[in-house]
A and B are shown apart, each in its own frame.
Chain A
């Protein structure tokens, strides 16, 4: 499973978005605001889930904001950190 695919499953399960399927999440679409419609509490929950599932730490929301733009940016961020 690719990092992006794994991310989509984590987002659906851990943020309780059961009414959508992983296929319905566009890799390029914004996660917050429009797009998936996530909010600030989802953002901090996602930080914890990424720590838990990938062992990657997001130190603050400055860093988070860049990574959280889309599934693609988040997947890229995680892979970059894990490679480092």
Chain B
């Protein structure tokens, strides 16, 4: 198979502050509903309460009460996997003869930063090592392989905020090269005080609901969540007579090599990633129906995306969904890939929540209301800390 062989998406699972499954999230997005609130699961001594998009406690996560040694991030990714497998029709008869890989992005899910443990350790209290056990048990890709009894290639991608997009791009590559028949790909991250304090310390967090691409934007709101796409070879899908919801048509990624936290002012890495994504899809800019932008709501990110998109994909509508989900870090690329597939199916894109006033400094702005779209392919892009840029291309499915 060549780089251009499309890889099918046969099922999707997704949960975040916008909803506990993909359908609920879409409803929230198209209605532009959002209710970020100060974090409920941890406290902080910041004089200002920065709002976040948390998953409410009533949402039932995988293994709650039964598997105490799994982190919240692992539970989130397993919850999304359960939904995606159900959606793909694989939940009834798992094919043991198939080579099934797992490729998952995370940041918090691969970090040992248990605060309670460390607080006791610092005091010399000899803390018990259960939090370490939980950390060792909760590597997201390994947790999925263990819970769903898989033994194919297994990879946890920790590329910060582009991890989810990268995981899907890399997983699709495993199918194209023939080392897997199917791949469970996506991303997950939980909210925690470490990332909350970290992003506030970088002074890129908004103390009100975030306003991606708006003239008055002040920064991002954090969120949490997970999304999974079941990727399959077309041969596997045909053999079980299941429709493809969409196809992965291309993927590109490149590094700015510019600065630890600031994006390249000209968006050089993003330009190269978009160019590679377009080249691997074998399509022209005219075929692009829309772009799901990273659109975090920070001054720098939104300016660079607007400039690069208006230069490389002029007149292609774009938007950010982070006004309804918050920035879910490594889950963001996966959640937005799930949304991108759903918008392609629906042939419409939602209003860019939080956007009202165009920024005169930006050459292009997102839509304020739901608009219909046509075109064979759609992009979802992620820009990350460390200068990573990743772009995934989806094409319309069988339905």
Chain A residues with CB under 8 Å of chain B are 39-41, 44, 47-48, 57, 60-61
> Is A48 a contact partner of B262 (Cβ separation < 8 A)?
no
Q: Is the interface of A mostly helix, strand, loop or mixed?
A: helix
Residues of chain B within 8 A (CB-CB) of A41 are 202, 259-262
Residues of chain A within 8 A (CB-CB) of B201 are 44, 48
Give bound CA distance, A44 to B202, whole Å. 6
Residues of chain A within 8 A (CB-CB) of B259 are 39-41
Which residue of chain B is the closest to A61 with respect to CB atoms? Answer: B203
Give bound CA distance, A40 to B203, whole Å. 10
Chain B residues with CB under 8 Å of chain A are 47, 201-203, 218, 259-262
Of A39, A47, A57, A60, which is within 8 A of B262 by CB?
A39
Residues of chain B within 8 A (CB-CB) of A40 are 259, 261-262
Q: Within the complex, what minimum Cβ distance (angstroms) separates A55 from chain B?
A: 12
Give bound CA distance, A41 to B387, whole Å. 14
Give bound CA distance, A40 to B260, whole Å. 10
Give bound CA distance, A47 to B202, whole Å. 10
Q: Within the complex, what minimum Cβ distance (angstroms) separates B298 from chain A?
A: 11
Of B47, B202, B203, which is within 8 A of A60 by CB?
B203
- Closest 10 A/B residue pairs (Cβ): A44-B203, A41-B261, A40-B262, A44-B202, A48-B201, A61-B203, A41-B260, A44-B201, A47-B203, A60-B203
Give bound CA distance, A41 to B203, whole Å. 10
Q: Within the complex, what minimum Cβ distance (angstroms) separates A16 from chain B?
A: 13
| A-B residue pairs in contact (CB < 8 Å), sample of 15 | A40-B259, A40-B261, A40-B262, A41-B202, A41-B259, A41-B261, A41-B262, A44-B201, A44-B202, A44-B203, A47-B203, A57-B47, A60-B203, A60-B218, A61-B203
Residues of chain A within 8 A (CB-CB) of B47 are 57
Which residue of chain B is the closest to A48 with respect to CB atoms? Answer: B201
Residues of chain B within 8 A (CB-CB) of A47 are 203
Q: Within the complex, what minimum Cβ distance (angstroms) separates A30 from chain B?
A: 18
Which residue of chain A is the closest to B259 with respect to CB atoms? Answer: A39
Which residue of chain B is the closest to A57 with respect to CB atoms? Answer: B47
Residues of chain B within 8 A (CB-CB) of A60 are 203, 218
Q: Within the complex, what minimum Cβ distance (angstroms) separates B207 from chain A?
A: 10
Give bound CA distance, A27 to B93, whole Å. 73
Residues of chain B within 8 A (CB-CB) of A61 are 203
Give 7 new A-B contacts, CB below 8 A, not counting A40-B261, A41-B202, A47-B203. A39-B259, A40-B259, A40-B262, A41-B260, A41-B261, A41-B262, A44-B203
Residues of chain A within 8 A (CB-CB) of B202 are 41, 44
Residues of chain B within 8 A (CB-CB) of A44 are 201-203
Q: Within the complex, what minimum Cβ distance (angstroms) separates A58 from chain B?
A: 9
Give bound CA distance, A48 to B200, whole Å. 11
Give bound CA distance, A40 to B201, whole Å. 12
Give bound CA distance, A48 to B198, whole Å. 11
Give bound CA distance, A57 to B47, whole Å. 11
Q: Within the complex, what minimum Cβ distance (angstroms) separates A15 from chain B?
A: 13
Give bound CA distance, A19 to B202, whole Å. 26
Give bound CA distance, A39 to B201, whole Å. 15
Q: Within the complex, what minimum Cβ distance (angstroms) separates A46 from chain B?
A: 11
